Amino acid sequence: MLEMRESCERCKTPFPMDSIDAMICRYECTFCEPCVSGPLNGHCPNCGGNLQPRPKRVQK
């Protein structure tokens, strides 16, 4: 199951589970969209992979 981290690993911006600003790599490193589109230039600083929008998890 996908680990839903609660904040950006770079700037610590918090993410609710349904956040549209959370971006992840293949190893589930999690960053906010402003960090990804700015200083990270679309790539994970940990593995070098591309960062994509994280799927939303709907609370039941």
Full set of structural domains in the chain with CATH: 1-60 (3.30.40)
User: Are 19 and 8 within 8 A, CB to CB?
Assistant: no
- pLDDT per position as a tens digit, 8-38: 999 999 998 888 899 999 999 999 999 999 9
- pLDDT per position as a tens digit, 34-51: 999 999 999 999 999 999
Quickly list DSSP for 30-60.
EEEHHHHHTTTTTB-TTT--B-EEPPP----
Which DSSP category does 3 fall into? Answer: -
C-alpha–C-alpha distance, residues 19 and 45, integer Å = 21
pTM, two decimals, is 0.86
Please, what sign has the CA dihedral across residues 45, 6, 35, 27?
Answer: positive
